[in-house]
Chain A
């Protein structure tokens, strides 16, 4: 009698667990995005639209490139997405073209204007905006949840990226570590500060950034600031390099005087400035530059 009562309790307990698990299954999957909005699906989304290059790259890094049905006009990696429909930029997306593709989810930047409009048309929108190394990992996890890639596989991908960044740092000889670097993102000139994604990579490589964290991630600098800081190495994209040596006083900068300039072609610039899964490649590009040019 006592025994059967205990058994009964056990059965009720098990049944309760079963119900709980069942309801969790029925609720499908859910993801909370950078706006704090929780988005739910009954089944993993199959048709994906991305409106930010780093998010496109993240989806592909997770091996789910085949689920992409449309991307923004700036997404250009990997090559397999070349044939996908272009849906405008993240800022001026073509609402009609997006809706016509019937996506199960639209991944885009938080600053995009179209978020509310797409939601009012009944689309599921996940706004994610990676800005730092930690964000890249977080966004990788979130996108993995959206596309249904399990946490272990995602963790492995992240470990590989992280290990590759460390390897790039270890490949540098000791004397390079003292190099003082200026990374220019825009001719205005905007520099990449220590607080930026690019600055974090420079820190990981062990070199010094002439733009301190206190100035913010991408401060607009007085050209005089750069002359005074006198960097040993300058990193810049080739379309921003034009006329750099002709700026007043810049000939005196050590990097310019001794030709310690790394001018990256556009494809490499894309890798360097996008906070996405190619950050290990970005670290390797910077390490190669430092090996060749650092004093």
Chain B
């Protein structure tokens, strides 16, 4: 994508290295403002914040519900933004999306099976309650990615990998429908999962997403030279002496881990992973080391914004956040498309 920046003269590079830093600072500040807003927005409104000191329930609402869901929205958005940046670099396709390798449909199948299994037998129920829907979603996502990789016979061939991802996505989607058909009373629960929601995120999920997010970010930053190399074309990357096979596999693992974790905690949230790297690139042209960090921050801020809107727009009711991200993200992509054509 930005071959120019890679080989730009020193002066240019210096001017450019300042801009990503400013963007990062801006995003962190924006995130902090949204976090404060997030503590005050909800079905009981600001009242909970005023009464926080006197009333333990108000304090619980602010610190045990609003705070973790705000932090959780940031973490889930960051995971999706990171996965988006990695996917777009890895597949050299600006429309690549973290759900590309079948992870989303794998997670859906996991949840569908878990829901259908609930109440079928006491043993299954007990086991599933312990694993939870989140565990089922994560297992499904990881298995789907492994299946895609097996079908594509590795990660060397980008086109084959993309096609295998599409095939796995469609087949697992059909299996999900089949499972839901045999247990129709799970249909509404499936729908809720497909829409995605940050409403059930507690501190435990935040801790999980935060720590996995950090690991993924460090890995992705460490592997960013591969992404830079791939941006110049496969043969150039090979000529740079990069062992493409294992490094690609590592990037796919990062992608699956980040997506699976986010999906497991929040359900399917569309467009954040796709839009975050685009938004970053619209502001700065930079290397992948910066891009993965900035896309994570951007994804986090985007989902926090969407979550705050989802809570506030219809208060005291709330919208599923996935609906909002789909509308906002879809609109942004359309605008981007028209601008490019124009």
A interface residues with partner B (beta carbon < 8 Å) = 34-36, 85-86, 88-92, 94-97, 99-100, 102, 110-114, 116-117, 120-122, 129, 186, 190, 216, 218, 220
In the bound complex, residues from chain A placing their C-beta under 8 Å from that of B185 are 111, 218
Q: How many residues of B contact A (CB 8 A)?
A: 40
Binds A, one of B75-83, B191-199, B294-302: B191-199
- The interface bits of chain B over 27-51 (1 if a CB of A lies within 8 angstroms of the residue's CB, else 0) are 0000000000000001110001000
Interface residue ranges of B178-237 to A (CB < 8 Å): 181-182, 184-186, 188-189, 191-193, 195, 197, 199-200, 202, 204
Residues of chain A contacted by B182 (CB below 8 angstroms): 216
- A93 to chain B: closest residue by CB: B199
Of the candidates B42, B119, B192, the one whose C-beta lies within 8 Å of that of A91 is: B192
B5 adjacent to chain A (CB < 8 Å): no
Interface contact tally, CB-CB below 8 A: 83
Contacts of B61 in A (CB 8 A): 96, 99-100
Judge whether B125 is part of the interface by a CB distance below 8 angstroms.
yes
Residues of A within 8 A of B42 (CB): 96
B115 contacts the other chain (Cβ, under 8 Å)? yes
Given contacts A35-B129, A100-B57, A111-B115, contact A94 B188 (CB under 8 A): no
Complex alpha-carbon distance, A226 and B133, angstroms = 36
Q: What are 16 A-B contacts with C-beta separation under 8 Å?
A: A85-B316, A86-B317, A91-B191, A94-B318, A95-B65, A95-B199, A96-B65, A97-B43, A99-B60, A100-B43, A100-B44, A110-B118, A113-B192, A113-B200, A186-B184, A218-B185
Q: Which secondary structure dominates chain B's binding surface?
A: helix
Whether A94 and B189, one on each chain, are in contact in the complex, defined by CB atoms closer than 8 angstroms, is: no
Distance (Å) between the CB of A261 and the closest chain B CB? Answer: 23
CB pair B60–A35 under 8 Å, yes or no, is no
Give CA–CA (A253, B155) in the complex, Å. Answer: 56
CB–CB B119/A110 < 8 A: yes
Q: What residues of chain B lie closer than 8 Å to A120, measured between beta carbons? A: 202, 204
Assess whether B202 is in contact with A92, with CB atoms less than 8 Å apart: no
Task: Provide the bound-state CA to CA distance between A95 and B205, in Å.
Answer: 16
Q: Are A220 and B48 in contact (CB under 8 A)?
A: no
Contacts beyond the supplied A86-B317, A97-B44: 5 A-B pairs with Cβ under 8 Å:
A94-B317, A95-B65, A95-B200, A111-B115, A113-B133
A186 contact set on B, CB distance < 8 A? 184
- Cβ of B132 within 8 Å of any chain A Cβ, yes or no, is yes
Contact A36 B57, beta carbon cutoff 8 Å: no
Chain A residue at minimum C-beta to C-beta distance from B115: A111
Q: Kindly provide the distance from the CB of B22 to the nearest chain A CB, expressed in whole angstroms.
A: 36
Whether B192 contacts A92 by the Cβ 8 Å rule is yes
B248 interfacial contact with A, CB 8 Å: no
Least CB distance from B169 to A in Å reads 23
Contact at B202–A117, with CB atoms within 8 Å?
yes
Complex Cα gap A120–B64 (Å): 9
Minimum C-beta distance from B255 to chain A (A): 26
The reply to whether the CB of B126 lies closer than 8 angstroms to some CB of chain A is: yes
In Å, the complex CA distance between A120 and B119 comes to 22
How long is the Cα–Cα vector from A186 to B184 in the complex, in angstroms?
10
Compute how far the CA of A54 lies from the CA of B294 in the bound complex, rounded to whole angstroms: 49
Provided the pairs A120-B202, A121-B64 are in contact, do residues A220 and B119 lie with their beta carbons within 8 angstroms?
no
